[in-house]
Structures are given as structure tokens and as C-alpha cells.
Amino acid sequence: MLTTKVMLTGNEAVARGAWEAGVGLGIGYPGTPSTEILEALSLKDGPEVCWAVNEKVALEEAYGAAVGGLRAIVTMKHVGLNVAADPLFITAYLGVNGGLVIAAADDPGMHSSQNEQDNRWYALHAKVPMLEPADSEECLRFTKLAFELSERYDVPILLRLVTRTSHAGGLVLLNEEMKYSRIKRDYVPSPRYVTLPGNSRARKKVLERNLAAIVEDESVQTLDLMEITSPEVGIITSGASYNYVKEVFGDSCSVLKLGLVYPLNVNRIREFAGMVRELVVVEELDPYLENNIKAMGIRCEGKKYITSFYELNPQIVAASLANTTLNIPFPSAGSRAEPAAPGPLPGVPARPALLCAGCPHRGFFYMAKKAKLMMTGDIGCYSLGAMPPLEAFEASICMGGGYTMAQGLSLTVPEGQKVFGVMGDSTFFHSGITGALEGIYNGRAFVPVVLDNRITAMTGHQQNPGTGRMMNGAPTLMQEPAVLFKAMGYDPVMQVGAYDLDAIRSAIQTAKMASGKAAIVVKAPCRLIRGVEGGSRRAVHQNQCQDCRLCLRLGCPAISLGEDGKPVIDALSCFGCGICQQVCRHESIYEVAEVRS
């Protein structure tokens, strides 16, 4: 067997595992930190790989493929599972045919997320077995096995990832001679796939039987690691937390690492507990293992020591267990080395994420703030429109919520005032359309706006129904939000260029005054898309500038305050969008006539 040692991220390893398992369909919706699973899978020959319009759609499609006999993997970020929760709960009852694996990536510490929900509870709640790998090698192995388990026990399998498994690189041995071989089981039509109460009553018994059986499965047993090295303290842990425990304690205390985190292997945990004097649970976020272990009647402590806030790391684990009555030696003093400084150095200005120079979202946000619109926003690059100096919208909750929250708010404002809701194109297709329809149906004083940059930008430029391309680049019908608005009954539907501030101003004004239901589409492609060309760069006439600093209120990273206190435009980072020139009241910003390299 010809093998090579390569570094793969957890996401790449999950993709490789699915490919080795002969997966027929990979489908999901982009979301940090899960996005690169499908991107890696799409580079491999064999499976059908695509972005769905949202996570619920993705899971339902994957379920259909699985019922038909294919192996399918669905990917999403943690909050994506909220969107896909409806089919998740039911597929567990109905059972699968081909293996169905749902890879959902949590984001402890909220690096790029709105919350840090602990998705292990979903496994318990939906009765879907969950595997939790700790590193890239396990990501590959667990994913591959997950398909077999799904078929053997007739349930979907959840694969729980976190940022530090998805975006962590680790060494993996790959069999270079392996070929893709698509698995296809026979499809046998059966009433079991129909969710009627009678079927579901029968299926629930089957599900409980399968859940009891999977714990006893021989290959599942190999996912757990029981390392008995000391009779004093035993630590129960799983996933990335295991790495932190081993980093700090090495072999100085006994460790039970659980690979299957739902259903829990009660006998295994009891056996381990019987071999140590004190039991500690080290887990990130919620006391999921701890509460379940306590419910088994086993004495243990977890959150008494380990914080339930944000991510863990070896230093946090070491510090949490250092000053306790626990009898644990700390062999690896490195995890408690003396720091160079007691804490962050003071006086370091923050470097928050920003809309890029030339971002097509900027002009609308600037004009919306000027018009003092009451507006709710959504999830994407344009979430940054809430940041100073633009501060264009006041609230945002979740994908699609930008339209519907606005409608609720509209019931609280004075008669005649309208509330605007803003989201990007991909979010509009994901879950904005239903909210827009609601606005027509219930006649809300609401104006939907799409900032259509023709790409799913924040997660790194994925195709969506508005780009006219599928994930593999094949052409498909290019959806236009304006056409959909018209079909629903919006009138007038105004489509304006993203860099034309006059047109944006008049669209906002028209929408505020319209007796009908107005909608606005602000359009220009994301400037980071390959091939999108900027205009000629702008510069400031230093002697003409009146120093009113209006241009600085655009929050454009190309514009800064120069040495003499007047704004200057950086020649390298200016994209030439020209909105600063439109904002300037003293005609002090001009086009520089030159050929762009």
C-alpha cells in the first residue's frame, strides 16, 4: 500500500473520509467553520457535491438520496442545524437506507458566529447518534465509520466538529492507491418512510432498539480510548478537550475519551469510574457529559472547575484544575510556564473586521443612515453595516430574520412610518423569500432590501442561486431578487446600482412614500470576485479640501486622516468605486486618470 503523510485540516479530513466511504452526495450551506468540507469534497472525482439554498433543504435532499440508497453527507455550521432541525428529528424516526451523515461544526468562542450553542444537546434531543473526533486523523476515520454505522443501525449520524477540529491541521496517512467507489443500496419502497402517527409509533420502538444496539457495536467501542495510568484521578472527556487534557497531564492521570457522545456507553463510564478515586469531566461549553454522568448516579465534578464560557485550551484546563483539592500531578510544566506579560498590553487599538475598500454595501448603508431609516439587518458581510461609522441598522438575529423582525417592529412605530429590512443575495435565497412573502400577505409597513453582490461573500465566495452557477461551475438559471419581489406583489420594485448614491437616495425616498409595497435591490458584484474591475482611483485635492470629513464617515479603509489633518486616499487600496467623490460637498475628490495595473 502506497501511503503518504500529509497535513489535512479536520474539514479536509472529513471530506476525505466521506470520499473513501463512497459518498454519492455532499450537500450543505456555507458557514464558518464548516464551509471547507464541501469545498474539499468538490475537488474530488466521484460524488455529486453542491451548495443547497439552506440547511433544511440540504438535509431533506440528502435524506432523499439516502432513502434511495446513496450515501450522503450534509454540512453546516452549528446554527445551521437549527434551520435543519425539523427534518433532523423526523429522519431519526424514519430511518435511512444508504448512510446519512450530518457534519455540524460548533464555534466555541464565537470566532465567527452569533452564539456558541453546544450541539451535543441536539443528539440527545433528536435521538441521533453523535460521533466526536478530536483531530484530523479521527475526522477521517470517524466519518468513514459513520456511514457504516448509519446503515447498520438505520439512523442518521451526527458528526460534531468545533473550530479547533475543523480548522486545525493534523497529519494523516493517506492510501494513495485508493479509488472512489460509489456505494448504492437497493431502494425498497416502504410505508415506514411516511410520517403518519401509526408509522412513527412503530418506528420509535425501532429507533430506541437501534440506539441501545449501537453502543454495543464492536467498531464503536474502538472509538473510545480508556487510558488507565493512575488510580487517583480519572478524567472523562471528548473531542478537542481530550487534546488539552493530554497536553497538560500526559499519562499522569487516567483518561476516558468518548468517541460516541450520544448515546453514552453507561457500562464503560461506570467501569472507568470504578477504577479511579475521583472523577472529573473536562468539556468545552455546556455540562453535557457531566449532567448525563451524574444522572447515571455516578459522582463526578466538571463545571465546578471548568468554565462553560468560550473555548478551552491547555492553559485554561491547567489553571482550572491546579488550585483544587484534586490529587493530580502536573508533569507538563510547559502548560503552566511563566508568561512574558501578566496580560494583554494596554493601549492597543482594536482591529475589527471592516467592509472592504470598494465594497458595494457601503453606499446603501451610508444613505440609509442619512435617511434615518429604522432598519433591521441580517447575517453576512453586511452585518458589518451595524459597526461605526456606518451604524445603519439596529438589530439582527439570524438568517432571514432581517425581513421578519422588521415586520414585527413595524407594528410598534407611528402610523405612516415604514421599517426597512436588509440582507444579502444568498441570505435572501436562504430564508428571506418567505419573510418577503409574509410582508405582502399581512400587509406590513415594511420595505425589503437586497444588497445583491452576486456571491456568498463572507464565507469565502460560494455560488448561490443568484450567481447563475452551481458549485461545480456548471451554468444554471440566474435568479433575480427583483423578479421574485414582483411575482409576490411588490410594486414598485427598484433596482439600483450600488455605487450610484443619487439613485439609492431616490429609491429610499420612493419606498418611504409609496402607497404600495416597495422593494429595493442594490446591485454590484463583490469586488473580491475574480475579474471584477474597479474604476479609476480617487484622490483628495489637499488645498481644496474643507476638512469636513464626510468621506471618513464612509468607513472606507482606503481613506484615512493624513499628516496635516486632512483626509487622504491610499492609492494602492482604493478600488475606484467613487462613492467618496459623490459624498464630498466641496468637489475636492477627483478621479486620477491613469491605467490601473
Partner 1 sequence: MIRETRTIMLDGVGGQGIIMASKILIDGLIQADYDVKSSEVHGMAQRGGSVITQLRYGDRVYSSLVGEGAVDVLFAMEKLEAMRYAHFLKKDGLLLMNEMEIPPASVLTGESSYPGDINERLGALPVKFFPIAAEAKARELGNVRVMNVIMAGALIKLIGLADDLDWSAVVTAAVKPQYKELNLEAFRSGMELVRHSRPQVLVCNR
* Interface contacts to partner 1, rule CB under 8 A: 5-7, 32-33, 111-112, 135, 163-164, 167-171, 240, 242-244, 246-247, 313-316, 332-335, 337-345, 347-356, 381, 384, 389, 458-460, 552, 555, 557, 559-561
Nearest to 64, CA basis, from 31, 90, 36: 90
Nearest to 155, CA basis, from 132, 136, 131: 131
Place of cell 467623490: 581
Query: Strands 446-452 and 419-424, how do they pair?
Result: parallel
Strands of 370-431, DSSP E: 374-376, 419-424
Residue 299 Cβ, how far from partner 1 at the closest point, in Å? Answer: 27
**97 or 588, CB closer to partner 1?**
588
- What is the largest distance, in Å, between two alpha-carbon atoms of the chain? 82
Residue 252 Cβ, how far from partner 1 at the closest point, in Å? Answer: 13
Query: What gap in Å lies between CA 410 and CA 415, rounded to an integer?
Result: 9
**4 or 412, CB closer to partner 1?**
4
Task: Give residue 592's identity as a one-letter amino acid code.
Answer: V
Buried b / exposed e along 302-319 (16+ C-beta atoms within 10 A): beebbeeeebbbbbbbbe
Query: Strands 3-9 and 374-376, how do they pair?
Result: unpaired
Residue 71 Cβ, how far from partner 1 at the closest point, in Å? Answer: 28
Query: Strands 254-258 and 233-238, how do they pair?
Result: parallel
**201 or 596, CB closer to partner 1?**
596
Q: How many CA atoms lie within 13 A of 463 on its CB side?
A: 22
441 close to 433: Cβ distance less than 8 angstroms: no
**164 or 517, CB closer to partner 1?**
164
Nearest to 85, CA basis, from 102, 72, 100: 102
Nearest to 47, CA basis, from 75, 14, 68, 70: 70
Residue 115 Cβ, how far from partner 1 at the closest point, in Å? Answer: 14
| Alpha-carbon distances of 72 from 22, 193, 352, 470, rounded to whole Å | 9, 17, 38, 18
Residue 348 Cβ, how far from partner 1 at the closest point, in Å? Answer: 5
**57 or 379, CB closer to partner 1?**
379
Residue 164 Cβ, how far from partner 1 at the closest point, in Å? Answer: 6
Query: What gap in Å lies between CA 49 and CA 463, rounded to an integer?
Result: 12
Query: What gap in Å lies between CA 268 and CA 181, rounded to an integer?
Result: 36
**149 or 580, CB closer to partner 1?**
580
Residue 567 Cβ, how far from partner 1 at the closest point, in Å? Answer: 9
Residue 559 Cβ, how far from partner 1 at the closest point, in Å? Answer: 7
Query: What gap in Å lies between CA 159 and CA 447, rounded to an integer?
Result: 40
Query: What gap in Å lies between CA 44 and CA 75, rounded to an integer?
Result: 16
**343 or 443, CB closer to partner 1?**
343
Q: 569: which DSSP letter?
A: E
Residue 133 Cβ, how far from partner 1 at the closest point, in Å? Answer: 13
**5 or 299, CB closer to partner 1?**
5
**339 or 416, CB closer to partner 1?**
339
Residue 200 Cβ, how far from partner 1 at the closest point, in Å? Answer: 39
**243 or 426, CB closer to partner 1?**
243
